[in-house]
Structure 1
């Protein structure tokens, strides 16, 4: 039964990813329908991410009190309501309300599945199942690209988003019929401060910040306009590239998961490698005179595909440094920090477009975020090393199995 419950939870996460990223290919249609500029569209994505990020820690507290089923069900119905409002939207106010509902429901989903995995399976299976959760969930991103584009062009705005709302209702019925869990009834507040003040949690948060933000901004909002308006690609080609990013990410996930498990003493170097390769790929595209060739854009999306799987290392740090009693709070901190960074990058690109009216200059504003992330990863890695040296703490289950502590070298 545990596998069945996990499968239903993963399906709920897949649907949440579909709802979350449905704006990415509807951005140009939404701007025309609502009569807003790039900054207005950025407002929709920013508010969706802001609600998601700000709700992470509160959701962790509610999760310990009410359990995964109730939060997954509430999340599915809230996102369905958001898509229904979006289908009826013809101005920015309704659009904002719709995307905030989607952000609220989305915030309840992934962290609930993480708790489900932690309670339903032995510790040595958790890391693999968490990677598979992220991997399978990305199928929702694929469903939000080419199929959504085809539906918008074939059936139009309202029928497409009515259909999206219907998917959420079906998911809610499935959760009611199949999923079972037992809430702990424990309040999690005492663990929040301990989780936040531990440098290992901060290391996980900054890992998530620096690795996720570029690909998240690309998929959630700016990738499709950049490829179509900035690079002159046909809408169908842009949709294929966005789907390719997600598909390649599904391959990168197990690879990075294997490397992190095989070489746990070098996890931070994997993180730095993801950040460095992302910056290098963007530099090549933005420095190319005129439109970048298609092969280089393919290279860009392939490199961006490692961002999401790389950010999962942040959750591994949260699990490694925190006991089970505060894992929800730590996971919420890591996840919320990453999405706040994604929101910041989306806002910076929007500001860049308003000021410079040039995609190249706007996308240069990602670089300060990467630089800050690298500095903070190195900083909190050093702090965690010092703390472990002082307290002689162990890192616990670095590879998901019950192994002896690895000491401070586990942060290399």
Structure 2
């Protein structure tokens, strides 16, 4: 077997593990109404479940980034898949807030180990020119897990109930761990060269440019898919659960189309990546403004347009990882990737929490309450765009100084 064939096989196994991780991550989104009834919680309780899952995910990003630089991708992927399977098992049996929180926290912990490990496989086995496209393909294929966590999961919940559905999700985690153990070959990284350095990765302006890129572009779609999109569409916009599920799937499918295009453009025009980021932030803010300002419930065509616009958020956030790769040596790619990924999920976690708090303060989940709650997105977009502009300038000045020296 040629080295190229091995690289593709190892990447494919890693991507499958990522697909299952995305399914675990987003399984709360369409089950949020059932979760509120089963666990006896309100909007703030639902926010707590999603927020703590993302809090654990975000908090684990930097230590996981350092560990994957030292231990390699295979070990981290196997550990992550096992932890997520345990989390789904706990969630399947949960009948109150505390066990529910424990299950989602375990899922967040295992999920944190997955994407960074797969990105390291891409960085090791594929050339810099192909890297942006392969990263986008990784994110694109991973969205199969998001699709599985919408309509199929809704149907399973209605047909089989809570416990059998999430026990099945736990089995998926076990299958993922066994496949990784059997197929993936990934030796421990050599430590003879430059040692992984968290402080050096953080000091690099390109790392923080990637972090703010990820935060500004990811938060809207992530909060929508992970928790609040389904209640907004069903309770706020008055859609049926099946139509809401189709809209969420539409968002994911459009993102899968957008990903390779953005990957190609980022690889072909690296000095225009920040312009792509600004376009994504601006169109997302514009689409939400029209939906939230629409008198009464938005027409279906407008909600479809919102899904299409939000679809660029996930692929746009991947540009942040390309910045991490561009401005950091191989020895600290994991640490830099962890910083970038952590920033995006801190922003998403913050938005999810604020939306839940506003809804609870309003004491209802109707359209007017959602309008006020979803307005929390605007300060995050504004701060993110400002920081992208700021660190773009710093990164470019350092790059020009290095080239002239």
Q: Please indicate, yes or no, whether the TM-score normalized by the shorter chain is above 0.5.
A: yes
Asked if 1:315 corresponds to 2:321, the answer is yes
Asked if 1:234 corresponds to 2:235, the answer is no
Distance in 1, Cα, partners of 2:195 & 2:62: 10
Distance in 1, Cα, partners of 2:308 & 2:343: 24
Residue number among 351, 375, 385 corresponding to 1:374 in the alignment: 385
Asked if 1:198 corresponds to 2:204, the answer is yes
| 1:159 counterpart residue number | 164
8 Å Cα contact 2:43-2:357 kept in structure 1: no
| 2:222 counterpart residue number | 216
C-alpha change, 1:161 and 1:380, in structure 2 (3 Å) is same
Residue deviations 1:59-95, cap 9 Å, x none?
1111122211111111111001100000000000000
8 Å Cα contact 2:79-2:110 kept in structure 1: yes
Distance in 2, Cα, partners of 1:143 & 1:186: 39
Residue number among 286, 293, 304 corresponding to 1:298 in the alignment: 304
Residue number among 278, 302, 310 corresponding to 2:284 in the alignment: 278
Segment drifting more, 378-387 vs 220-229: 378-387
Distance in 2, Cα, partners of 1:320 & 1:123: 9
Note the residue ranges of structure 1 that are not aligned, 5 or more in a row.
395-412
Asked if 1:77 corresponds to 2:82, the answer is yes
Note the residue ranges of structure 2 that are not aligned, 5 or more in a row.
1-5
Residue deviations 1:278-300, cap 9 Å, x none?
00000000000111001000000
CA shift, 1:115, in A, is 1.1
Residue deviations 1:208-240, cap 9 Å, x none?
000000000000000000000010000000000
In the superposition, the TM-score normalised over structure 2's length comes to 0.95
8 Å Cα contact 1:274-1:310 kept in structure 2: yes
Query: Residues 9-408 of structure 1 correspond to what in structure 2 (within 5 A)?
Result: 9-184=14-189, 186=191, 191-356=197-362, 357=364, 358-392=369-403
CA shift, 1:154, in A, is 0.4
8 Å Cα contact 1:64-1:185 kept in structure 2: no
CA RMSD of aligned residues (A): 1.4
C-alpha change, 1:123 and 1:266, in structure 2 (3 Å) is closer
In the superposition, the TM-score normalised over structure 1's length comes to 0.93
Segment drifting more, 307-316 vs 253-262: 253-262
8 Å Cα contact 1:66-1:185 kept in structure 2: no
8 Å Cα contact 1:78-1:105 kept in structure 2: yes
8 Å Cα contact 2:213-2:319 kept in structure 1: yes
8 Å Cα contact 1:63-1:183 kept in structure 2: no
Distance in 2, Cα, partners of 1:8 & 1:272: 34
Aligned residues between the structures: 394
